Amino acid sequence: MARSETAVSLAGVRKTYQLGEPVHALDGVTLDVPRGSYTAIMGPSGSGKSTLMNLVGCLDTPTAGEVVVDGREVSTLDDRERTSLRGTEVGFVFQTFNLMPRLNALENVALPQLFQGVDRETRRDRARTLLERVGLGDRIDHMPNELSGGQRQRVALARALVNEPSIVLADEPSGNLDTETEAEVLDLFAEFHDAGTTMVVVTHERHVAERAERIVHLLDGEIERIEDLGTVGTGNTTPEADRAGEGSGQ
C-alpha cells in the first residue's frame, strides 16, 4: 500500500484497561485523519484523549478495532516495527516539551534521525534548517534550560518534523505557555500545516482547538460530535504580528 490519502484511520477502536473492573478508555472510536488536515481533539479529563494519542502515536495497541498509520495496521506490528513506524511517521509535541536536558537545541532536533541511522552531517544540516524555520537559528547551541518555554516548544516542534512524519501529534502544546508564546507556537503549527504537514492537536482549550479545520469532541471514550470549522488560515494574527511574535521569542 503506497501513501494513502489517509494519514491515520481508526475503525471501531476500543481500549480497555483492567483496573479491578474493566474500564473502557476508548469505546468504539472510528475516525479518519486525512493527509494535510489539521484536527483538534477536545474533551474533558478522562474522556480518552491521551489513550487516543498513544494509539495514533503507535505507543500502544488497541484492545479491539483497527488503527492504521501510514497504511499499516498497528496491532499487527511487533514492538520493533511499531517503534520504527513511530520514529519515521509520527512526530510528538508534548505539553512539557520533553527535550533531552543534556543535549543542546540542535542535538535535540537531530535525535530522532540519530535513531534512524542518519549520518552526523546530514542530521545536523537538517536540524539547523528546521531550527531556522522555527526562528531559532541563533539558538542552536543553547541547552533546553537556557531557552524560554516558547523556544523549547519550537525546538520540540522542529524535532517532531525532522523525519518528515505523516502526522504531528501535539498533546496540549500550549498548556505550559503564556498567551503570547502560545500564539507564536500555534502560528508555527498553522505555518507547517499550510506547508502540508498533517496536524493533530489534543487540547481542552477552545481557542487552541479553533485553529484547526475541525474539532473532534470526545466524551467517555466515544466521539460525541465532530465540529467542522472549514479551512483556517493563520488565525487572527496578521503577517506583521507574526513577525513581531517571532522577534520577541529571540
Partner 1 sequence: MNPIESLRLSWRSIRGHKLRSALTTLGIVIGIAAVIAFVTLGASLQAGVIGDISPDDQRNIYGWAAEPDTEGGPLAGAQPVFSQDDLDTVAESDDVDAAYGYMPLSTQALLYEGELTPQSDALVAAGSPYIREESLDEGRQFEMGEREAVINPAVANQFEENVSVGDELTIVLQGGERTDVTVVGITDSSEGLSPFEGFEPSPRVYVPTDPYYTEQGAGMVPGPGGEADENGAGAAAEANATPDDARFLAIVVEAHSAEEADIDRARNSAAAYLESEESDAGALMADAELAITLQTSAELLQQLEDVLDLLQNFIVGIAAISLLVGSIGIANIMLVSVTERTREIGIMKAVGAQNRAVLGLFLAEAVILGVIGAILGTALGLVAGYLGAWYIDLPLVYPLEYVALAIVVGIVVGILSGLYPAWRAARTDPIDALRYE
| Cell numbers representing residue 19 in the block | 483496573
Q: Which is nearer to partner 1, 16 or 83 (CB)?
A: 83
- Cα separations in angstroms, 27 against 17, 36, 77, 155: 11, 27, 22, 35
The answer to whether residue 112 forms part of the interface with partner 1 (CB under 8 A) is yes
Q: Considering the complex, what minimum distance in angstroms separates the CB of residue 69 from partner 1? A: 13
Exactly one of 10, 41, 56, 99 binds partner 1 (CB under 8 A); that residue is 99
Q: From the list 77, 103, 229, 241, which residue makes contact with partner 1 (rule: CB under 8 A)? A: 103
Shortest Cβ distance from residue 119 to partner 1 (Å)?
A: 9
Buried b (16+ CB within 10 A) or exposed e, 131-161: bebbbbeebbebebeebebbbbbbbbbbbbb
List, in order, residues 6 or more apart from 173 with CB less than 8 Å away: 93, 94, 95, 153, 157, 185, 186, 189, 201, 203, 208
Give the contacts of 18 (CB within 8 A, at least 6 positions apart): none
One character per residue 127-166, x = contact with partner 1 (rule: CB under 8 A):
--------------------------------x---x---
| Smallest separation (angstroms) from partner 1 to the CB of 2 | 22
Q: Hey, what's the cell of 20?
A: 479491578
Distance (Å, rounded) from C-alpha 141 to C-alpha 59?
A: 30
Residue 161 near residue 168, CB atoms below 8 Å: yes
Count interface residues toward partner 1 (CB under 8 A): 28
User: Interacting stretch for partner 1, rule CB under 8 A, among 6-14, 15-23, 32-40, 79-87?
Assistant: 79-87
173 binds partner 1 (CB under 8 A): no
Among 3, 115, 138, 247, binds partner 1 (CB under 8 A): 115
225 binds partner 1 (CB under 8 A): no
Considering only 54, 151, 181, 234, the residue that binds partner 1 (CB under 8 A) is 54
DSSP of 107-147, one letter per residue?
A: HHHHHHHHTTT--HHHHHHHHHHHHHHTT-TT-TT--GGGS
What number of CA atoms fall less than 13 Å from residue 171's CA on the CB side? Answer: 19
Residue 185 CB, nearest approach to partner 1 (Å): 19
In contact, 57 and 67? CB cutoff 8 Å: no
The distance of closest approach from Cβ of residue 154 to partner 1 in the complex, given in angstroms and rounded to an integer, is: 16
Q: Which is nearer to partner 1, 94 or 192 (CB)?
A: 94
Residues in the chain: 250
Examine residue 121 and tell whether it contacts partner 1 (CB under 8 A). no
Residues of the shown chain interacting with partner 1 in the complex, contacts defined by CB under 8 A: 54, 57, 59-60, 79-80, 83-84, 86-88, 92, 94, 98-103, 111-112, 114-117, 120, 159, 163
